[in-house]
Every structure is written in C-alpha cells, then in structure tokens.
Amino acid sequence: MVSNDDLQKLGASRSGGVTPSLGGDRLRRMLGEQLAQASKAPRGEVLEAVPELGPTNSEEGLEAVPELGLAASGEQGGGLELPQAEAPSLEDLHVTVPESPPITEDDLIMRFHELVRERGARRTRALGEPIALGDQVRIDTLGYAGGELIPFSVRNDLEMELAPQVMLPGLMEALEGTPVGESVQVEISLPDDYPVESLRGATARFLVDVHAAEELQLPDPESEEFLQRLGRGETLDAVMESLMDELADERADELWLEAQELVIDEIVRRTEMEVSPELVNEEIYRRWNEAEAPLLRAKNFSPDELQDALEGWLKDPSTRVQAERDLRASVAFRAIIERDGLELTPERLDEVLELAIEPFGLSLAEAHEALQDPEAAPLIMASARQVMAFEHVMEQARIQFEGVEEPASGDPAPEI
C-alpha cells in the first residue's frame, strides 16, 4: 500500500529519481515514443516478445510482453489484470507547490560553461588515443557492489563531459588516460546520498567502455568575438542576465511539472484499491526490460545474470513504491474516464496526438498512419485515453504556487 509518507518521499526525490513518474509530461512522451516507433517499424512488428525472464524467477517468464508498461497504458497484460476501483472525487482538488530553491551563482556558471563548450572547436580522438578531462565522451557503464549489479547503473552510449560527478566521486577522474575503444575498471566509494539507499557508502566497482571522445578547444569566454557569437548581449553581465532569465523560465516549467505530479499524488490518495505484489513485479519488469535489459543482452549476459539484474530493481524499495503509485494512478484515470463519460473524439484525439508528437518531429498524418497498424493501435489509443483523463483531472485542479498570490488552474505554465 502506498502511504502518505511514501508519496512525500517520492515528491522529495522526484527531481533526481532514477525511475520516471507517471506525470502528464511522461504520459505524453510515452505516447510520442509509441507513435515514433510505430511510424518507423514494419507493419506488425511494433511489439517485441521477451519470454526469457519473469518478474520472480527464470522459470516464470512473461510471454509477449510489450515494451509499454502497464501504468502508462492503463491496460492489462502478461496474464495479470489491473484491479477495479471507484473513481476518486475531483471536488476540492487543491495542491500547493513548494517554492524552488533560488538560482545560484553556481547554476549560472554551469549554464555559461555549457554555452562555451557548445561553441568550442572539436577534434575526434583516434581509436587508441587517450582521453582527457574536458573531453566530450561516449561511454557504456556497469556498476557492481557486493558482487551484484547495481540497479540503474547500466548506461548505454552515454554522452557527457569527462568531468567530476557528485554521485560517482572519482569515477570520471580515473578514466583520464584510457584509450578510445578500450575498457577500464574503477573502484569508488558511493556517497552517503546515493539514490539507492541500501548502497550508500558502499564500495562499488564500475566497468566502463570508452566508445568515442572529442577534444575541445574552448573559446575565450570574455572576448568580444565570443559574446557576439552568443547573441545574448554585448557584455558578460548582459549574457549572465539573459541566462538568469532562461533559468528562471526553466524553473517555472519544472514547478508546473511538479504541480502535475502532486495532483496525481492526490488522486492516488483518493483511490481505494488493492495492488498485488505480483502486479508491481510485472510493472517493474516491463520498465527494466525497456531500460536496462537491451544493453545487458548486447553484452552477452547469461539468463542467470539477467535475472540477478532484474532482482535488483524488484528489491529496490523506492522503485516498488513508484511502480505501485503509477499503477494506482492508471486505474484511477481509467475509472474517471468511465464515470465522467470522457470520449476520445476524432477532434480530441488530434489535439492529444499533436502535443505528443511535437518533440519527435512527426506530422499528424504520420501519427494517423501509425494508428493503422493493428498491433500498435490498441496501445497508442490506450495511452491517448490516459492523456485525455489526465488533462481532464488537471482542468478540475486548483494549484497554488508558494510565493504566488493567485492560484493557478488549467494547463499553462505559471508566471513565477
């Protein structure tokens, strides 16, 4: 059972969480990903069967499991049905969003640093050439602690600056000098605020494959030529003021996304239902199969090793709370659709699709083409209905942002 304390902990860790939550942004993104996948895949090949493993042991594999999670679709799968629940009341649906921390000088410096790097001259390092701090690298990572794979440590083709990382102290520094195309093992101590609570302070061993690297020659950030290239003002102070405004706009968007999550948390609190551990296992399995399993299979992990990796996700308390919360929200949305008589008319469907496909560069015509695939269409329509229900809920919600006098409602981002 997801308790109020569980929801509060999720809210406190949402911005740095390893498992994305079922907010409106994620619902739309999931729908967009389905449409993008369906528009590129040969007809009838949108879903993949993954019978190798199951959520509890290797003998109890799920058959024909689609990559879409239960919580995102609001549908049943794998032989387990989502429970029924009475639709929660939307009366007096009111949440208060805490103020975000102030923008710091470090925030500005980091954003300015990113702009400088974007405009640096790049040279691709040759195969076998050592990498250096400050390079832009592309790597794979696997982390182990106590002889077991660390949940969520698997990263594939991760592109980043080779620079110190707060959550992985010493790891990136130890990669300096590694030749492109080679692998290295690094032992570090995980920090006391590491996302996986049981591993805080533990000794970890990371395996890193260095696929590619670029050496950067950075421009003089205070030169007149560079400031003109930025187009953000003629002086460094003007550039910083522009970055401050940009960061403030991003914080406002982040607050609105947090408001969506808080509304869903309240919907979950109001929905009375029982969610079985088996259903939570299946939802976590689906997420693991989408996020981590492909890389592990590509690295020729054995079935036993794959099962051990899955167990790490299944045993993680915060992952279980998040999965159950999202399942409850999905059931609540489905019940709200039925109670309030929400109908996904052709016009409403187009509105939902247009918002979902925008980040993926798809046209509405391509989205409609994807809906012609008999295998993809049910999942796409299920996700579209969930988005419709979420937007209906948000229209009923009254949202107060701390530090803002008038409450906000509807879907526009607040002026904060």
What pLDDT does residue 36 have? 85
Look at residue 381 and tell me if it is in a domain: yes
Same domain, 260 and 376: yes
End of a domain among 217, 239, 274? 217
CA torsion 34→35→38→39, rounded to 10°? -150
Pairwise CA distance, residues 321 & 313, whole Å: 12
pLDDT in tens, 194-246: 988 889 999 999 999 999 999 999 999 999 999 999 999 989 999 999 999 99
What's the mean pLDDT in 274-289?
94
What pLDDT does residue 195 have? 84
Strand ranges in 52-98 using DSSP code E only, listed in sequence order:
94-97
End of a domain among 166, 198, 217? 217
Same domain, 65 and 160: no
Same domain, 392 and 252: yes
Same domain, 288 and 361: yes
Look at residue 347 and tell me if it is in a domain: yes
Look at residue 236 and tell me if it is in a domain: no
The pTM score is 0.81
Encoded amino acid at 223, one letter: S
Look at residue 179 and tell me if it is in a domain: yes
Check which CATH number belongs to the domain holding 187 and give it: 3.10.50.40
What's the mean pLDDT in 362-369?
92
What pLDDT does residue 21 have? 55
Q: Which domain does 360 fall in, by range? A: 4-101+248-401
* Radius of gyration in angstroms for the set of CA atoms belonging to the chain, rounded to a whole number: 23
Same domain, 153 and 292: no
Count of domains for the chain: 2
Look at residue 50 and tell me if it is in a domain: yes
Look at residue 63 and tell me if it is in a domain: yes
What's the mean pLDDT in 307-329?
93
User: Residue 138 — φ and ψ, nearest 5°?
Assistant: -125, 120
Same domain, 277 and 342: yes
User: Which residues is 143 bridged to in the sheet?
Assistant: 206
Same domain, 70 and 13: yes
What pLDDT does residue 6 have? 59
- Whether 407 shows a pLDDT value over 70: the answer reads no
Look at residue 134 and tell me if it is in a domain: yes
Pairwise CA distance, residues 74 & 69, whole Å: 9
Same domain, 156 and 282: no
Average pLDDT, the chain: 85
What's the mean pLDDT in 92-98?
96
Tell me the pLDDT band of 50, cut-offs 50, 70 and 90. Answer: very low
- Those residues whose C-beta lies under 8 Å from the C-beta of residue 303, and which sit 6 or more positions away, are 52, 53, 58
What pLDDT does residue 38 have? 80
- Whether 68 shows a pLDDT value over 50: the answer reads no
Same domain, 393 and 286: yes
Q: What does each C-alpha distance from 93 to 84, 88, 365 come to in angstroms?
A: 22, 10, 37
